Amino acid sequence: MSDRIFGAVGLCLALFYAWATLQIQESFLSDAVGPKTFPLVIAVILGLSSLAILLKPDPDPVWPGLARLAEILAAAVVMILYAEFLPIAGFLIATAFAAAYLTWRLGTRPLQSLVVGVATSIGIYVIFKLVLGLSLASGPFGF
């Protein structure tokens, strides 16, 4: 069943891809092949392979329960927040929080998670910023 849904989604994706390709504004200046040919070929093969998946599905994988699924989504949300707050809060703070959260959700005790999170953050800061000299986000306190 999973593969049938996957195939159907793939088919929709191929259709959307073809549609989006047709929306490309061509300039007056075009080469012999044009900007649409290659993506259209991709869309066709994408559609055909989706159809094949839909018609000949593999056995279903084991999907996690709702609770686990929520766990994964929550982690993704935390990562998104991390990406958004990184330039605002600065590297050390944002990273310590995100790392502590992930450590906690992977089954470490809360207090220990916090310690691990802070240690991870400082460790990465030392390697990437002080040793390799990359410019990481500096927040209101300069780190």
| Stretch 22-61 residues interacting with other proteins (CB under 8 A) | 24-35, 38-39, 42-43, 45-46, 48-50, 52-53, 56, 58, 61
Residue 128's contacts (CB-CB under 8 Å, 6 or more residues apart) are 134, 136
Q: How far apart are CB 134 and other proteins at their closest, in Å?
A: 3
Q: How far apart are CB 111 and other proteins at their closest, in Å?
A: 14
Q: Which two tokens stand for residue 20?
A: 């989006």
Q: d(Cα 15, Cα 46) in Å, to the nearest integer?
A: 9
40 neighbors 65 (Cβ within 8 angstroms): no
# of chain residues touching other proteins (CB under 8 A): 78
Q: Which of 86, 93, 111, 118 binds other proteins (CB under 8 A)?
A: 86
Q: How far apart are CB 91 and other proteins at their closest, in Å?
A: 8
Q: Does 136 engage in binding with other proteins (CB under 8 A)? A: yes
54 neighbors 11 (Cβ within 8 angstroms): yes
Q: Does 12 engage in binding with other proteins (CB under 8 A)? A: no
In the complex with other proteins, the residue whose CB is nearer, 43 or 111, is: 43
Q: Does 84 engage in binding with other proteins (CB under 8 A)? A: yes
Residue 22's contacts (CB-CB under 8 Å, 6 or more residues apart) are 36
Q: How far apart are CB 108 and other proteins at their closest, in Å?
A: 5
122-to-4, 47, 127, 143 alpha-carbon distances in Å = 46, 47, 9, 10
